[in-house]
């Protein structure tokens, strides 16, 4: 695996303004990776009935959120698109009989441009996105990641962007950055790290049976990018980044797998 596979917990949309510890981790991840030829992002904020690739050669910065600081809406991430990479992704999925849709106008949602703004602030690396499969679970997304694994040997950095914990009922919007995390969120975040260390893929795929697993994800879409990354990493060794939780209960853990 020549390029690593990255999973980031992207936090709330205002992470670039409010989660400086996480931003520092994303910046460090970008600095430790030789500049790739292109980036494929799999974000929790794009789901379709079939996997869909973005073909735009100049993707817009999408503000797919509301109610945050006006400063956030002035930010842009003007990276070029990567339609050739998108077609390569569709070809890889076709090897398993998986049909892939194409979207000629899709921009970069905040699950993509927020972490990339810290990882590669120059915005000079072509980026394509691949959607999640709506209502599909961990095993389906793990297999999707396995199909993407050859990209790492082709100079493509796979960045999967979601959340280790994502229960809004647990959040404390006034929490200090160094405040002790909500115990259930902390327990599940550590369980994920422990199961990764043990290479216990079956347990991870059945995470809803883990302590506070189902509670950590009342809906599953924010955890599915993790399984795409896990599949694409193909058993490689990993490094865990552990920035402060945000809003008391959003684990900001990131993982980088290297062959």
What was the pLDDT predicted at 226? 99
Q: What is the DSSP string of 203-252?
A: HHHTGGGSTTHHHH-SSSTTTHHHHHHHHHHTT-EEEEE-PPPBTTTB--
What was the pLDDT predicted at 114? 98
Closest CA to 14 of 78, 59, 65: 65
With vertex at residue 140, the alpha carbon angle to CA 146 and CA 236, rounded to the nearest 5 degrees, is 30
Number of domains into which the chain is organized: 1
- Identify the burial level of 79 via C-beta atoms within 10 angstroms of its C-beta, where 0-12 means exposed, 13-18 middle and 19 or more buried: buried
With vertex at residue 144, the alpha carbon angle to CA 139 and CA 148, rounded to the nearest 5 degrees, is 145
What was the pLDDT predicted at 92? 98
Is residue 26 a contact partner of residue 256, using CB atoms and an 8 Å limit?
no
The alpha-helical segments, DSSP class H, found in 165-211 are 183-197, 201-205
d(CA 3, CA 29): 12
Closest CA to 174 of 18, 13, 1: 18
What was the pLDDT predicted at 1? 53
147 token code pair: 């199909």
Residue-range definition of the domain harbouring residue 122: 5-258
We report the CATH number of the domain holding residue 250 as 3.40.830.10
Mean pLDDT, each 10-residue run in order, the chain (259 residues): 92 96 98 96 98 98 96 97 98 96 98 98 98 97 98 98 98 90 98 98 98 98 98 96 97 96
d(CA 106, CA 87): 14
């Amino acid at each position: 695996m020549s390029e690593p596979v990255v999973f980031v917990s992207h936090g709330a949309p205002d992470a670039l303004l409010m989660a400086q510890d996480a931003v520092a981790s994303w910046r460090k991840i970008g600095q430790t990776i030789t500049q790739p030829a292109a980036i494929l992002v799999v974000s929790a904020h794009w789901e379709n009935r079939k996997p869909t690739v973005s073909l735009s050669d100049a993707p817009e910065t999408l503000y797919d959120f509301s109610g945050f600081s006006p400063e956030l809406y002035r930010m842009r991430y003007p990276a070029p698109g990567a339609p050739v990479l998108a077609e390569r992704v569709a070809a890889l999925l076709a090897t398993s009989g998986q049909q892939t849709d194409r979207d000629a106008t899709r921009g970069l949602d905040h699950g993509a441009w927020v972490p990339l703004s810290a990882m590669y602030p120059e915005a000079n690396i072509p980026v394509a996105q691949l959607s999640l499969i709506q209502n599909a679970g961990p095993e389906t997304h793990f297999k999707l990641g396995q199909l993407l694994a050859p990209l790492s040997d082709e100079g493509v950095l796979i960045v999967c962007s979601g959340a280790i914990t994502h229960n809004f009922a647990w959040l404390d919007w006034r929490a200090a950055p160094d405040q002790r995390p909500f115990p259930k969120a902390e327990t599940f975040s550590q369980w994920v790290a422990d199961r990764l260390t043990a290479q216990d893929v079956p347990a991870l795929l059945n995470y809803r049976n883990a302590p506070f697993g189902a509670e950590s994800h009342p809906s599953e879409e924010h955890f599915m990018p993790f399984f795409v990354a896990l599949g694409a990493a193909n058993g490689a060794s990993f490094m865990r980044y552990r920035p402060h939780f945000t809003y008391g209960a959003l684990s900001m853990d990131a993982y980088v797998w290297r062959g």
